[in-house]
Structure 1
Amino acid sequence: MEATAAAPPTPIDKSPECRKFCHHGPAWEVVGTKAAELQSASCHCRSALLIVSPDVRPSLSPVSTTQSGAGAFLRGPHTRLIASLNNMSAISATFTNIWNSAALVSPSTGKVGLPSTEDEPLTAKPLTAKLGSETEKCELRIEGMTCGACVESIEGMLREQPGIQSIKVALLAERGVVEYDPNVWDPDKIIGEISDIGFDATLIPPTRTDEVTLRIYGMTCSSCTSTVETQVGAMPGVNSVEVSLATETAKIAFDRALVGPRELVDRIEELGFDAMLSDQNDVTQMRSLTRMKEIQEWRSRFWWSVAFALPVFLISMFWIGRKFYRNAFLALKHKTATMDVLVMLGTSAAYFYSLFAMCFAMFNPDPDFMPFVFFDTSTMLIMFVTLGRYLENSAKGKTSTALTDLMALAPSMATIYTDPACTQEKKIPTELVQVGDIAKIVPGDKVPADGTVLRGTSSIDESAITGEPVPMLKQPGDTVIGGTVNGLGTFDMTVTRAGKDTALSQIVKLVEDAQTSKAPIQAFADRVAGYFVPTVISLALITFIGWMILSSLMSDAALPPMFHHHGASKLAVCLQLCISVVVVACPCALGLSTPTAIMVGTGMGAKNGILIKGGRALEASRSLSRVVLDKTGTVTEGKLTVVGVAWVPADEFGDAEVHLATDVDAAALSGLTADGVTSRAALLAMVSSTEARSEHPLAKAVATWGKTLTA
C-alpha cells in the first residue's frame, strides 16, 4: 500500500487486538504542519511515517510500503526512525507533495530519525541515537562507597542506560554528578537505581535555590499550622508553604526577587509564633565534611568486634558484619563485585567450613579426632576490616578540616538597620542578611557579607582571605569582604553579595569541588579497580584448585609443614590458602590511594592558603619549574617581628649613622641612654608598655619584643 499525505492526521482508532500492544491514548504526537501515516490492514497503530525534510521538491517518486508485519519494508528515499515502544515500529519518510517540515515524535522518549536511502524493513531496530537534545544535571550525595570498585559499579550501571549523558562519582567526597535526558530520567529515578545496588543516595539541592526551611515554635494544634500556611502563603512572592506540626518546621518556596527569608520570619512572628532559619543544609554539609556519621558508625563496629573477638559468637559474625553481607548481596544481585564481596567470601568460607568440620567431629566415632577449624579467622577479619573502615573515615574527616575552618570564618550574627534613617538596629542570623541591607560593624566584629563602606572608616584584617599581613584602611566607597575582621573603627556598609554569592562561599565551593574532581590518573585507576575483585576471586580459586591438585599428587612427606598440623585435612589447608588470597586483597589500596592523595593535597593546600582548582591541576604541578609569588604574605606567617634595635640620640636622629644591633642581650640593656639617667632597659619597658595599648601591627610587634626582653 502507498503512504499518502494528510494535514494533519486525526488519531487512529485502535483495534482490540492492537490495544494490548500499545499504550492507552495516542502513542505518537504530531509536531509540525503536515504528516502522513502508514496503516495496515491488521493493525492501524502498528507503524507510523514521519516527515522530517523541509522544502522537498516533487522530483522524488512516492514512498511505497508493503503490508506491515513480518517481511514488511519501505521503498524509496526516506528517513528511518530507530526506536521500539511496546511492539510498535516507527519510520520517518519524505514525500513528493510536502513542502513544509513536520515530525512525529514519541511523547515518552522523544526518539529521533536517522537518514537512509536503502529499502528498510518495518521492524524495530536497537536504539543507537541519543534520546534528546535537552540535558539536565543533578548532584547527588552517595554514601556507602568503600573503594574504586564501588565507584565503577555505580558509573558502569548508569553509563549504559539510555538517556544518561555522563556520570562522575567521587569516592572520598561521596558525591556524584549525573547529566541526563529529562524526557527519560529524573533525580528520583536515578536515586532509585543507585539504591538498588546497595548505596544510599540523596539529592543535593542547587546552590541558588528559592526554598527555605524555618523552625517554628509555639504551635499547639492543626489550627496553628493552618494559620501559618494561610497567612504566609498570601504574601507576595510565596509559591507554596508546607508546615509540619510534628517537626515544628515550615518548608517555603518563594521568589527571591519579591520576598526574602527575613520577611518570612517577621511575618510568622507577627502571628504570635517564634521562627528562625533552620540551618539544616549547612549542618548537613558540615557533618558530611567531617564524616561524623561514618566515623561514629565504624568506631562503634570496631569496638564491638573487639568485645566479641575472644568469645566467638554468632552475633559477631552476622550482626557486626551484616552490612558487608547486605552490600555484597546487592552487588552480586546486579552482577557487580565490590570489596564487600571479598569480605563476605572470606569470612563465610572460613566460618561455614569450620561449622561443618565441628559438626562432623561431633558425629565422628574416633574420640581422638580433632577438627581443623578457624572460627577466629572470620571474626578477626571482620574486626580488622571494620577497624580499617573506621580509620579510613577518620582520615576523610581530618582532611576536610580546611573547609570547616573556612566556613567558620563567617560570623553567626549580624547587626542591620531596619529603617531608612538608620536609627533602629536589629541583630539577625547572618544567613538572613540580604542584598541591599545596611549593616553596622563595630570594633572586633566580623564582616557578615561582601559590600561597600557607606560611612565611617576603619582598618580591616583581610589576612584570612587575601593573605595580606597588614590591616587595610577602609573608607566610604571601598569594598569589604565577608569573613574579615574589623579593627578599632566603626562603620556602616551596604551589602552587595550575601549567602552563597560571597567571596568566602565561592572559596569554600572551589575547595570542595577541587576535592571531588578526578585526576587523569584516577580515571585509569578506577577502570582497573573495576576488574580488581573478579581478578582476586579468580586467583583465590586458582590457588585452591592448584593446591588441591598438588597435595593429591605429592607425597605427604613432601608437602609443606602446614599440611602436617594435627587435625589438618588437605581440604582445610587449601581452603585456608584460598581465604588468605581473598583477605590480603580486602584493603583495595588501588582504588583509594589516588582520591586520598587528591583530598589530602587539596585540603592541606587550603589550610595553608593555597587553593588548588582540582585533581588535574594537582597532577600537572609535578612538572612545575618556577613559582611566582605576588606578596610576602603568601610565604610568611603574616606577623611582624622586631629583628634589631639602634640607639640614636634624639637631636642626632636625622643626621647620625644608624648601626643596627641584631643581638640584644642584658649587657647591651644595662647601659644608659643619651640623657645619662635613664637605662636602656627602662626605656624599652616604657616603649613596650605604651605600644601595648595599640592595635597597630607594628605596635604589637614592638610590645611583644619589649615584653620578652624585660621579662
Structure 2
Amino acid sequence: MVKNVKLSISGMTCAACSGRIEKKLKKMDGVLNVSVNLPLQTGEVVFDESKIQLDKIIKIIEDLGYGAKLFNKNLNEEISEKWILIKIIVGFIFSIPLFLGMIFHLLNIRYAEFLMNPYVQLILATPVQFYCGFQFYKGAYHNLKTGGANMDLLVVLGTSAAYIFSVFNIFKGGDLYFETSAILITLVLFGKYMEAKATGKASDAIKKLIDYAPKKAKVIKDGNIYEIDIKDIKVGDLLLVGSGDKVPVDGEIVEGKGLIDESMITGESLPIDKTVGDRVIGGTINKHYIFKMIASTTSEGTILSQIIRLIENVQTSKAPIQRFADKVSNIFVPSVVGISILTFLGWYTYSHNLSTALINAVAVLVISCPCALGLATPTSIMVSSGASAKKGILFKDAAAIENINKIKAIIFDKTGTITTGKIYVKKFQSTGVLDENILFSLVKKVESHSSHPLASAIVEYISNKSSLLMDDVDVLDIEEKSGSGMMGYWSGKELFVGKPYTPIEEEPGSIVAIYIEGRLEGYFLLQDQLKDDAADVVGRFMKDGVEVFLLTGDNRKTADFFAEKIGLNRNNVISEVLPSEKADYVSKIRDTKEFVAMVGDGINDAPALATADIAIAMGNGTDIAIESASVVVMRGDLGAVYNAFKIGEYTLKNIKQNLFWALFYNSLGIPLAAFGFLNPIIAGTAMAFSSVSVVSNALRLRKMRLIY
C-alpha cells in the first residue's frame, strides 16, 4: 500500500542538509518520492508500506543527525526560537568583553587591561565555543560520519581553527583570536534567529488559514442545542449558525438567512446574502442573522481543508528552477573547504606568517553561505502561495507557479468562463401547430432529465411562464443524445429537444429547437452575458504576447458575436465543438504553440483541462473541483486568471533575484576573503545576514501589486 506522510524535521541548517536527507531516502527500496522543505523544516515522503515502514524512515533521518516526527498541523507547530535566543544572549554576554578588549588593544587604550589577559579571554571564549556552538559541532559530526558536508562544517572549521590556534599561542606566545571565534559563532546564531523570524512571516498565510477553521459547532438534536467539537460533526447533522459565528463545515441553509463573509476563501471583499437552498463554506463568517444548515462534509472534507492541503503541497513541492540550486549546494561546501586550504597554503608560502594565513583561511570558511542558495526558491514559493491564496488563487504545486510564465497561448471556454454562465431564455417562437401549453409540458418533461445549463434555463423559463402545464403528459424512453439534445417518445411519436436540424435565422445566441416526428414545432433563443472584465483581460493577455483562443459548443454566429465583444480575432474562435472534442482541439493548439493554458470550470471541461500544460479551473468557491487543475481560481471573475499569470511572473523574477544575489554574494565574498581583504568578523557578519536578505526579498511578494 502506497502511503504519503508529512514529517517535521529539525536540525537542518542549509540546502546541503535537505539535499542529503532526500538523497539518502531516495536510495531506500520502497521510497517512491521525497521532498524536503528547508524553510518550513518539513519533509513529505511517499513510500510503499509493504517494503519499508515509517519507523525505519524516521530512523534513517535521525541517523543522519536530524530530528524527525510526524507533522501535526493541529498543533500549528512553529520553528522553536527560544533556545537559539538564549544562546545568542549568552554569546553576546561573553563576546562583548572580548570585542572590547580587541578594540582597546588596537587603539592602545590602557583601560580594563584584564580583558587582554590570555586566561580571561580563554574563560570568556570557551562557553561560546562549546555551549553556544554545540549545535554546529553536532551537525558537522553527523554530516562527516555519513560522508556529507554542510554549513555547520564551515562554521566549526573556521571557529575551531581560531580557538585552537589561540590556545596554542597562550603557551607558545603569539596573537590570540578568541574574539574572532566567539563573535563569529554569536553572529551566525543571530543570523539563524533572524532567518527563523523572517521564515515565520513567510508562512503566516497558512497559519491564518488554519486559524480560520472553527473549533466548535452548535448541533441541533431532538430540539435541543449542543456545543460539540468540530471533529465530531457528521454529514447530515443539523447545525445552528448565529450572528458573528463561523460556519462550521460546508453545507446548505435549510432555514433562515445569513450575510456571509467569504473573503478568506474567494478573496471577495463584500459579504454575500445567503438564504434557504444556498451553499455555505466552512470557516467563513456569518456577519448577520441566524440560520440552520445541513452539514454536507466533515471537518476534514471542507473547501477550507482542501485549500490548506493544497498550499501545504505547494510549499513542500519543488519548482524546476530549484534543481539548479540543489546541484550547486551539493558541491559547494567541499569546494569552499578546498579553497580555504589553498588560501592557507598560498598565504603561508607568500608571507611565512602563520597568523595571516590562518585568518584569511578562516575568512574564506565563514564568508561562504550555502544557506542563501537553499532558501532562494522555497521561501519565494512559500510567500507567493500564501499571498495568492488570500486573493482566492490556488496553485497545485510549485511547478505550476513557475510554468505559468511559459504559456504562449491561453484557451478560454465560453460558457461560465468569459460569460456569467447565467443563461436565460430571451425568446420563444412557436410554429403554432401545437398548443403552447402542451408543447411546454412536453419540453419540461424531457429537459428535466438533463443537467445541461441550457436545459435548466428552459425548465426555469417554462415554470415561470406557464401556469397551465399538463402534469399528465407522458413521455417515454427519455435519453440524452451526447452533444445534441434530449430524445423521447410521446404518444408513439419521436420527440427531440436540442440542436436544430437545419440553421434557424436568429440573433446571436443558443437555439434549442423542438421537433415531433422531425417537424419543427418551435424553438427557444437563449443568451448569456459577457463578464464585465472579459474584454480587458483578453486585451492584457494579448498585449503580454499570449495568443488567446475561444472554445465553445455554440454556433458560429454566437461565437463570433462574443469574439467581437472581447476584441478577439475570429480566426482564433473554435465553435460548435462537442464536449468530447475539446481535448482534441487543445492538443492541436499545443502542437503549434508549445506551452498552452486552458481555462474552464474544472468539472465539465476536465478532459480539456487535463490536456493543457497549465489547467486553470474557475468557480465561485463552492462548486469547484479543487483537485482538478494546476491553478484554481475561487472567484468567478477573469481578472483573477490574469492575476495568477502575473503572480507566476513576479514569483519567478523574485526567485531569480534571490539566486543571483546568493551566487553574487559568494562569488564576490570568497575571492575577497582569499586575497586578504576581509576580516573574519566582517565575513561572519556578511554570512549571518546573507540568508536574511534573501528571505526579506522573498517577503516583498506579500505586497505584490495586482491589477484586479
Does residue 1:576 correspond to 2:364, yes or no? no
Correspondence for 1:457: 257
**Contact 2:202–2:382 (CA<8 Å) still a contact in 1?**
yes
User: Cα distance, 1:428 vs. partner?
Assistant: 2.0
Deviations 1:551-586 (A, max 9, x none): 35xxxxxxxxxxxxxxxxx11110111111001014
Correspondence for 2:87: 301
Does residue 1:408 correspond to 2:187, yes or no? no
**Contact 2:265–2:390 (CA<8 Å) still a contact in 1?**
no
- Match of 1:457, as an amino acid? K
Question: What percent of counterpart residues are identical?
Answer: 40
- Match of 1:481, as an amino acid? I
Cα gap change, 1:337/1:449 in structure 2, threshold over 3 Å: closer, same or farther?
A: same
Structure 1 moving runs of 4+ over 4 Å: 623-634
Correspondence for 1:99: none
Cα gap change, 1:534/1:494 in structure 2, threshold over 3 Å: closer, same or farther?
A: same
List gaps (5 residues or longer) in structure 1: 1-133, 205-280, 362-370, 553-569, 635-711
From 269, 293, 306, give the equivalent of 1:493.
293
From 234, 240, 250, give the equivalent of 1:440.
240
Deviations 1:60-96 (A, max 9, x none): xxxxxxxxxxxxxxxxxxxxxxxxxxxxxxxxxxxxx
Cα gap change, 1:161/1:623 in structure 2, threshold over 3 Å: closer, same or farther?
A: closer
CA distance in 1, matches of 2:49, 2:255: 50
List gaps (5 residues or longer) in structure 2: 98-123, 419-530, 535-708
CA distance in 2, matches of 1:633, 1:188: 53
Does residue 1:513 correspond to 2:313, yes or no? yes
Deviations 1:4-60 (A, max 9, x none): xxxxxxxxxxxxxxxxxxxxxxxxxxxxxxxxxxxxxxxxxxxxxxxxxxxxxxxxx
SS of alignment partner, residue 147 of structure 2 = coil
User: Cα distance, 1:379 vs. partner?
Assistant: 0.5
**Contact 2:219–2:225 (CA<8 Å) still a contact in 1?**
yes
Does residue 1:620 correspond to 2:403, yes or no? yes
CA distance in 1, matches of 2:146, 2:54: 20
Cα gap change, 1:158/1:484 in structure 2, threshold over 3 Å: closer, same or farther?
A: closer
Correspondence for 1:287: 77
**Contact 1:165–1:181 (CA<8 Å) still a contact in 2?**
yes
**Contact 1:187–1:203 (CA<8 Å) still a contact in 2?**
no
Correspondence for 1:224: none
CA distance in 2, matches of 1:482, 1:610: 18
In the TM superposition, what are the counterparts of 1:166-205 in structure 2 within 5 Å?
A: 166-204=33-71
In the TM superposition, what are the counterparts of 1:299-338 in structure 2 within 5 Å?
A: 299-311=85-97, 312-338=124-150
Deviations 1:395-433 (A, max 9, x none): 1111111112222223332211122xxx21112232332
CA distance in 2, matches of 1:632, 1:175: 43
Does residue 1:141 correspond to 2:8, yes or no? yes
CA distance in 1, matches of 2:362, 2:25: 32
CA distance in 2, matches of 1:480, 1:456: 13
User: Cα distance, 1:494 vs. partner?
Assistant: 0.7
SS of alignment partner, residue 518 of structure 1 = coil
User: Cα distance, 1:135 vs. partner?
Assistant: 4.4
Does residue 1:378 correspond to 2:378, yes or no? no
Cα gap change, 1:429/1:632 in structure 2, threshold over 3 Å: closer, same or farther?
A: farther
CA distance in 2, matches of 1:330, 1:470: 54
User: Cα distance, 1:373 vs. partner?
Assistant: 1.5
From 346, 350, 374, give the equivalent of 2:158.
346
In the TM superposition, what are the counterparts of 1:488-637 in structure 2 within 5 Å?
A: 488-552=288-352, 570-586=353-369, 588-623=371-406
**Contact 1:449–1:495 (CA<8 Å) still a contact in 2?**
yes
User: Cα distance, 1:282 vs. partner?
Assistant: 4.3
From 468, 473, 476, give the equivalent of 2:276.
476
**Contact 2:348–2:356 (CA<8 Å) still a contact in 1?**
no
**Contact 1:154–1:194 (CA<8 Å) still a contact in 2?**
yes
CA distance in 1, matches of 2:89, 2:341: 33
User: Cα distance, 1:296 vs. partner?
Assistant: 2.2
User: Cα distance, 1:488 vs. partner?
Assistant: 3.2
Deviations 1:89-129 (A, max 9, x none): xxxxxxxxxxxxxxxxxxxxxxxxxxxxxxxxxxxxxxxxx
Name the stretch that deviates more: 372-381 or 437-446: 437-446
Name the stretch that deviates more: 580-589 or 192-201: 580-589
CA distance in 2, matches of 1:282, 1:373: 49
CA distance in 2, matches of 1:393, 1:606: 22
Deviations 1:578-611 (A, max 9, x none): 1110010145322221222222222232344433
Correspondence for 1:424: 224
Does residue 1:150 correspond to 2:150, yes or no? no
SS of alignment partner, residue 394 of structure 2 = coil
In the TM superposition, what are the counterparts of 1:226-245 in structure 2 within 5 Å?
A: none
More helix by share: 2
SS of alignment partner, residue 395 of structure 2 = coil
User: Cα distance, 1:357 vs. partner?
Assistant: 0.9
Cα gap change, 1:300/1:607 in structure 2, threshold over 3 Å: closer, same or farther?
A: farther
CA RMSD of aligned residues (A): 2.4
CA distance in 1, matches of 2:129, 2:312: 38
Cα gap change, 1:172/1:633 in structure 2, threshold over 3 Å: closer, same or farther?
A: farther
CA distance in 2, matches of 1:428, 1:135: 34
SS of alignment partner, residue 248 of structure 2 = coil
SS of alignment partner, residue 313 of structure 1 = helix
TM-score, structure 2 as length reference: 0.52
CA distance in 2, matches of 1:429, 1:180: 33
SS of alignment partner, residue 77 of structure 2 = helix
Deviations 1:458-511 (A, max 9, x none): 332323322334433323222111122224332211111121210111111111
User: Cα distance, 1:453 vs. partner?
Assistant: 1.3
For CA contacts below 8 A with separation 6 or more, give which structure has more relative contact order.
Answer: 2
**Contact 1:469–1:633 (CA<8 Å) still a contact in 2?**
no
**Contact 1:437–1:495 (CA<8 Å) still a contact in 2?**
yes
CA distance in 1, matches of 2:346, 2:229: 69
User: Cα distance, 1:457 vs. partner?
Assistant: 2.7
**Contact 2:267–2:391 (CA<8 Å) still a contact in 1?**
no
- Match of 1:580, as an amino acid? A
Aligned residues: 391
**Contact 1:343–1:586 (CA<8 Å) still a contact in 2?**
no
CA distance in 2, matches of 1:309, 1:632: 64
The higher radius of gyration belongs to 1
From 27, 31, 34, give the equivalent of 1:164.
31
User: Cα distance, 1:159 vs. partner?
Assistant: 2.4
- Match of 1:619, as an amino acid? E
Cα gap change, 1:301/1:609 in structure 2, threshold over 3 Å: closer, same or farther?
A: farther
CA distance in 1, matches of 2:255, 2:37: 47
**Contact 2:333–2:370 (CA<8 Å) still a contact in 1?**
no
**Contact 1:456–1:492 (CA<8 Å) still a contact in 2?**
yes
CA distance in 2, matches of 1:500, 1:632: 36
SS of alignment partner, residue 356 of structure 1 = helix
User: Cα distance, 1:443 vs. partner?
Assistant: 2.2
User: Cα distance, 1:624 vs. partner?
Assistant: 6.2
